Structures are given as structure tokens and as C-alpha cells.
Structure 1
């Protein structure tokens, strides 16, 4: 199994559409006994939270965020945890908005030390 996400800071490798997370967004992850959660901020996101579970290299979580325009949004994401050759962690994500239309994929990686 990939190493713990607890205390790691990750960021998207590319920008998404306007009003969504992007390369300026930072996710600070926490993990304990198969439970995961994170806070995130940056770019078009004033404050965001995710909460869910981890089973091996699979994360399953819900997210909610407040955007700079005052709108809120929420959705569901399933991610695969990958250990990179340089020791960092990558998450390959498949997400679906639940509060609005839209779905997609994204990649976030642990920031270099």
C-alpha cells in the first residue's frame, strides 16, 4: 500500500475550468485508520473540505467548497494513490459534481520538498 497521506500537501498539476481548483490550490491531507480528510484553498477556492475513506490505494470522498464569487459547490470523487519514483505521491482522480452539472478527471501531486 502507498504511504500515508497524513500531513502531505498536494496541488493539481494542471488548471481546471474557471471556478474550480487549479495549480494555485493547495490540499492539506490527513489520514487515520482508513479515514481521510483535507482542507484546501487557493485560486478560485476560498475554502474547501473533503472527507472520506481509504481502502488500499483507493480514496472515496465527498467535497464541498466556497468560491471567490460566493457560490458553493459539492461533489463526489474516487482517487487512486500512486507512489512516484521520486518518493512523492500522486492522486489520479475521477470526480462528479453533485450540486451542478459536470464531471471529469484530474491529477494532484505532492509538492516537492
Structure 2
């Protein structure tokens, strides 16, 4: 069942926080798109030259994979489950639990906020 009522189409986000093993920073901008239960995004900035997300909405969460090219010209890949919410300012926040599927396969958490 796909119950998510938040529409991510054409929304932009930046990082509020990230685990130390992550490469996303507050200089990274995400541009999300949504068509029914399909979501995708492009991101760049900070340590990331260009990145892409593709995934789906399952219940109240986003499930997606990501890949990006960092400033060291390493191709980095991972997977993520993201829980959207609305903050006290009425902006969408994405509370993310992610794992690299390359390098050390470490796990991390991040929070993105709509800009």
C-alpha cells in the first residue's frame, strides 16, 4: 500500500545533518521529482560533482538507491530508506537511514529539509 500524501515533485532540499561517513553537506542541493509512486532526484554541491536517485514510495517511506561522482572522481553508490515529515515551519523534512553499497558498506543517517 502506498499512503504517502506529501508531493515531492519539483521540491529542493539541503542537508541539515549527516553522519561523519557521508559525503553530503549543507552545500549539496537535491532536486526531487515524483510521478505517482516513482521518485527520482538529481543532486550536486560540496564534495559531490553530480548524483542521481531513483526509487519508489512504499507505505509512508521512500525506498531508493543513489549514485554519485565525488570530487575525488570516485563513483559512490548506496541505498536508503527515507521517512518524510512536515516540520513546524511547514517544510518537508526527510529523515534518512542509508548504507553505502561500495567502499566500506558503512551505515549512516541524515536529515534533509525543503528549501
TM-score by length of 1: 0.91
Q: Tell me, which stretches of 5 or more residues in structure 1 are unaligned?
A: none
Offset at 1:87? 1.5
Distance, in Å, in 2 between the alignment partners of 1:54 and 1:19 is: 23
Q: CA deviation at 1:19?
A: 6.7
Could you state the TM-score of these two structures normalised by the residue count of structure 2?
0.90
Deviations 1:14-53 (A, max 9, x none): 3543770111000000001100000000000000000000
Q: Which residue number in structure 2 is paired with residue 42 of structure 1? A: 45
Task: Indicate the residue corresponding to 1:25 in structure 2.
Answer: 28
Query: Does the CA-based 8 Å contact 2:29-2:45 persist in structure 1?
Result: yes
- Residue number in structure 1 paired with 2:73: 70
Q: Which ranges in structure 2 are unaligned for 5 or more consecutive residues? A: none
Residue 51 in 1 paired to residue 65 in 2? Answer: no
The range that moved more, 10-19 or 76-85, is 10-19
Q: Which secondary structure does the structure 2 equivalent of 1:14 belong to?
A: strand
Partner of 2:114: 110
Which is bigger in relative contact order (C-alpha 8 A, separation at least 6)?
A: 2
